[in-house]
Chains A and B, each alone.
Chain A
Amino acid sequence: MKHWEVVIGIETHVQLSTASKIFSGSSTAFGAAPNLQANAVDIALPGVLPVLNKAAVECAIRFGLAVGGEVAAKSIFARKNYFYPDLPKGYQISQYELPVVRGGGLPIQFGENEKLISLTRAHLEEDAGKSLHEGLGPTAQGRSGIDLNRAGTPLLEIVSEPDMRSAVEAVAYARALHALVRWIGICDGNMQEGSFRCDANVSVRPAGEVRLGTRREIKNLNSFRFLQQAIDYEVQWQIATIEDGGSIEQATVLFDPASGETRAMRSKEDAHDYRYFPDPDLLPLIIDRQWVEQVRAGLPELPAARRERLIADCGLSAYDARVLTASLDLANYYEATVVAAGRKNAKICANWVMVDLAARLNREDREIGQSPVSATQLGGLIARIADGTISTSMARKVFDELCNSGHSSSADEIIARQGLQQISDDSALTALIDDLLAANPGMVAEFRSGKEKAFNALVGQVMKATRGQANPQRVSELLRRKLG
């Protein structure tokens, strides 16, 4: 059997987080009743005209800077002409020859591997409306309903080079891109609501072949799992087709999550003649250096730089740094925790955020932004662990208390209120140990006869007598000295 190489390029439609649409003053909020966010411009009444939203352009500039692409000093809006009921003007305003961003790249990680995916371009365009086929009234049999609320929502279409060689790499790319657009605040990343949608261009070729195989484009994949499944299916279908003596025809296909299969779309019959031309209603978009620099100054530190800094300043492992920079909110939370706990405790902070807090968030299905415990609270708690005020097991109790306190108390308050301070005072501990040894001569004898287990049992007795508050390390030391 021949060895096949898979080639994947991805086009991503990212809905930009603007309040109003790209060419009209309608709201972009998700979930309104049909056509309540479709004004005269959005429904393309005769005579209406587009005016470009500044915030959408700014999002594009942010992205261009974040991926190290070239932000075009001059870019042009073009009309992409085709008929579809959710496209009210009969054309989509997009960019064709001169996009707002060119080039750039995005580093991805999969398993132990890293790779830089090159980007071809990113351009601004408007989203289409939605066609609804289900849930229409009894008089709407055999009809589709058109909702234009989404029509005109600003999109940044990000086009990668065909640099990916497996579904795993494709998913890693999509995840990295998803994290980045949220990190730089241009997209809410809500995939269920369609804020982040991928089209995967997939082809296969015999290993060693230089020319690309014929590609098929899988449209509108709105989850990482579907992206993976769709590409896996498509790849095996293409290989099987070729090995059976068939050939691949260029096509646009849809993925059906129910069957796990891809199938060609019927509605794209003249997809190859969009008759692009510069939109005469819009003038060239001019972005001067000053604006670019202004946007650059407002960009957060980017994920890669942030990771480097966490490794250098906080002594984190590369793995921890990657986990803690999965989102800007998480990275900010972590660093705020470190500030509260003290830099020397950065590693303990990482463990708490990645393990205890992550588990809690996971259980409650919350984002870091909705954490029940603030970074300051958590940092305060970690500081008390580090200075020996409380034991780690006590700290878990305090953590739970903090989570339930609704951000109102500090770790110190809870520790004081409930008397959870660790007992490290030698005179108090020595008195306890003396009582214990007197009361348990049997165990003392066992220890003396060489049974180490008896020693642990004795420590356990002290901890039990202090309801866990005794400093176990100090107890061991004092006990050994007594039994010594």
Chain B
Amino acid sequence: MIEHSLADIAQALASRRISSVELTALYLDRIGRLDPQLNAFITVDRERSLAQARAADERLARGDTQPLTGIPIAHKDIFCAKDWRTTCGSKMLDNFVSPYDATVISRFQQAGAVLLGKTNMDEFAMGSSTETSFHGPTANPWALDRVPGGSSGGSAAAVAARLAPAATGTDTGGSIRQPAALCNLSGMKPTYGVVSRYGMIAFASSLDQAGPLARSAADCALLLNCMAGFDERDSTSLDRPREDFARELTAAAGGRPLAGLRIGLPEQFFGEGCSPDVMQLIEAAIAEYRQLGAETVPLSLPNMGLSVAAYYVIAPAEASSNLARFDGVRYGYRAPAYDDLTDMYCKTRAQGFGAEVKRRILIGTYVLSHGYYDAYYLQAQRIRRLIADDFAEAFRQCDVVLGPTSPSTAFRLGEKAADPVQMYLSDIYTIAVNLAGLPAMSIPCGFAGGLPAGLQLIGNYFTEARLLDIAHRYQQVTDWHRQCPAGHA
């Protein structure tokens, strides 16, 4: 069952070959057995999950089903879930039991999915390795001494290790795609505004977007069908007609299904920054796409080189303000001893936040402070525009942009932890997409030294269904995405 697609699991549930309780227990047992070495989950609540599974079984018995009814899904601990501890990977929220559900969580509840547990993540989603979590790092199931990527590393490790059929993540600068790449998963960051941000603890509001992490593009489509949709509680949520993201996945394999597809290859993705073994896999994937009928178009995203710089102004600026609410007054951590109000704030925040979060708050505070706003924040927003314009130009020449997701395979735990700048540069291929607000995917494209690598596909706004189809076509003719890490079958 653990290798089945979500569609197959749904069929098994619908035909009563397995119950949701059995399925949920199976995964909970696997978590109990395998998670101690991975640390992919922050919170597992067996009884609560099984209760949801029982409710799902009742719905299944009534025939009141949706595609995800009864399927256990792991959620990144950034989503508020009513009565579940929601820590965002931080000591600041270690005792925070959410009184309400995020929109994403409610949508899964309404679909009858089972909440399997809350997954580990970089603290407040700030990181690319899941090492900044207050709950300790998550290991990569492909090599336990390596990082799973981040910030959605817990979700990625959990799905890769078959501790969950699928999971949610969030992506501010690559936090779904990079862990997908490092853990051999398919992951998608939708167009900004497609998935509601209500109840998703904010890191950088203008960049944050939730999306699926799963074992295939087809699974991602089913998850996205559940997650996406207009939400009147989020002013940046897009009011668009409902869409079936799996609609283009129905055609059978064979022939040249992607004939006429123009794949853009930006020179900035193919320089020396990428490790040669990863680049080789990308080249092989391009060859595969040509086999499927696609043609390739060389192009340039001239300002992409500035994306990391612009991102490390915009994201910390927004974060410094978003995280001001963690002040020890209404919820969360409060320092045990202090002199007065100001001291309570300073100690609460010094003790409640980890080093990386504090670093980014300080960067953000500085770039917004008097006298520096124009030079940093406004300049970064102008560069953001240039980057978005580069993509707009690219999509006049091609249908989809292709390149590596991450410049390397999974690095060792601790390897970059002491060097923030090196860590930030792990996201050089993913950040521009968030700045522009575009949809993008990472899908498995092979292994280098036993470690998975990811292929990134970037589409124009609202082309999620097309992207999923392009990924799905590749997965029909390759089996990289079916590989399972040793010891987790």
Contacts and interface: CB of A to CB of B under 8 A. Distances in A.
B235 interface: yes
Interface string B160-203: 00000000000000000000000000000000000001111110
A81 B319 CA distance: 12
A280 B206 contact: yes
A50 B321 CA distance: 15
Nearest to A269: B342
Contacts of A283: 235-236
Interface stretch (A86-94, A251-259, A351-359, A448-456): A86-94
Contacts of B345: 83
B233 interface: yes
B88 interface: yes
Interface string B220-252: 000000000000111110000000000000000
A90 B321 contact: yes
A92 B373 CA distance: 18
B447 interface: no
Contact of B201 (A46, A51, A83, A273): A46
B100 interface: yes
A40 B98 CA distance: 10
A48 interface: yes
A45 B331 contact: yes
Given A49-B197, A81-B324, A275-B369, A281 B100 contact: no
Contact of A277 (B197, B327, B331, B368): B368
A43 interface: yes
Contacts of B233: 49, 51
Contact of B329 (A52, A85, A91, A276): A85
Interface size class on chain A is 20 to 34
B86 interface: yes
Contacts of A46: 80, 86, 88, 93, 96, 98, 201-202, 325-326, 331
A83 B93 CA distance: 19
A51 B321 contact: no
Interface in A258-285: 272-273, 275-277, 280-283
A47 B329 contact: no
A88 B377 contact: no
A44 interface: yes
A249 B161 CA distance: 65
A273 B370 contact: yes
B321 A47 contact: no
B341 interface: yes
A146 interface: yes
B318 interface: yes
B330 A88 contact: yes
A79 B318 CA distance: 10
Given A46-B88, A52-B235, A85 B80 contact: no
Contacts of A51: 232-235
A43 B200 CA distance: 16
Given A45-B99, A90-B327, A273-B370, A280 B200 contact: no
Contacts of A81: 320-321, 324, 368
B456 to A, nearest CB: 25
Contacts of B100: 40, 45
B235 A40 contact: no
Contacts of A47: 79-80, 102, 197-202
Contact of B330 (A43, A50, A52): A43
A457 B341 CA distance: 82
A44 B330 contact: yes
B96 to A, nearest CB: 7
B325 A50 contact: no
Contacts of A280: 204-206, 236, 318
Nearest to B96: A46
Contacts of A282: 235
Contacts of B458: none
Contacts of A277: 317, 321, 368, 373, 377
Residue among B79, B86, B102, B199 with most chain A CB within 10 A: B199
Contacts of A146: 329
- Which DSSP category, helix, strand, loop or mixed, fits chain A's interface? loop
Nearest to B93: A46
Contacts of B365: 275
Contact of A49 (B234, B327, B368, B369): B234
Contacts of A49: 197-198, 233-236
Contacts of A48: 198-199
Interface in A10-54: 40, 43-52
Given A40-B99, A277-B368, A281-B205, A88 B325 contact: yes
Contacts of B330: 43-45, 88
A90 B235 contact: no
Interface string A125-161: 0000000000000000000001000000000000000
B266 to A, nearest CB: 27
Residue among B93, B330, B331 with most chain A CB within 10 A: B330
A186 to B, nearest CB: 23
Interface string B73-88: 0000001100000101
A476 to B, nearest CB: 77
Contact of A91 (B79, B88, B321, B377): B321
A331 to B, nearest CB: 40
A88 B88 CA distance: 19
Nearest to B381: A278
Contacts of A272: 370
Contacts of A273: 369-370
B238 to A, nearest CB: 11
Contacts of B206: 280
Nearest to B231: A49
Residue among A44, A49, A79, A88 with most chain B CB within 10 A: A49
Contacts of B200: 47
Nearest to A144: B341
A88 B325 CA distance: 6
A275 B199 CA distance: 25
27 contacts: A40-B100, A45-B80, A45-B99, A45-B330, A46-B88, A46-B93, A46-B326, A47-B102, A47-B197, A47-B201, A48-B198, A49-B197, A49-B234, A51-B232, A51-B234, A52-B235, A83-B327, A83-B345, A88-B325, A91-B324, A146-B329, A273-B370, A275-B320, A275-B369, A275-B370, A280-B236, A282-B235
Interface of B: 79-80, 86, 88, 93, 96, 98-100, 102, 197-202, 204-206, 232-236, 317-318, 320-321, 323-327, 329-331, 341-342, 345, 365, 368-370, 373, 377
Given A45-B99, A277-B368, A281-B202, 12 more contacts: A45-B330, A49-B197, A83-B342, A85-B329, A90-B325, A90-B327, A273-B369, A275-B368, A275-B373, A276-B368, A277-B321, A280-B236
Interface of A: 40, 43-52, 79, 81, 83, 85, 88-91, 146, 272-273, 275-277, 280-283
